[in-house]
Amino acid sequence: MKTQNIGSNFDDFLMQEGMLEEAAAVAVKRVIAWQIAQEMKGQKMTKTSLAEKMRTSRASLNRLLDENDASLTLTTLTGAAAALGKKVKIELVPA
């Protein structure tokens, strides 16, 4: 007996289940959180000192670094980047 494929790949499956955008957002957030954490480590900066430089709470910074929390504002992201001596570059690419 031959079984029918639900989707030709994992992206198709996620799209059919209505989860593609959410999965993409979580993936992007994980990369951003990882990059910020790596930069903090490289600069030997603690969460407390980064939060102070960003003029925000440590709880807010913890949400930024939480790779499973896909909510992220550009203001928070650019603030973290500036506090680390970096800037943010975002671009749209073909789907």
Mean pLDDT by 10 residues, the chain (95 residues): 59 73 84 94 96 94 88 90 94 86
pLDDT of residue 27: 86
Rg (the chain; Cα; Å) = 17
Amino acid at the residue 41: K
pLDDT of residue 70: 80
CATH class of this structure's domain 10-83: mainly alpha
pLDDT of residue 20: 79
Helix (H, G, I), strand (E, B) or coil at 81: helix
Tokens of 36: 């910020």
- Write down the residue that tokens 């209505």 correspond to: 18
pLDDT of residue 56: 93
pLDDT of residue 5: 56
Q: Please choose, from the candidates 83, 59, 41, the residue with its C-alpha nearest in 3D space to the C-alpha of residue 75.
A: 83
Amino acid at the residue 48: T
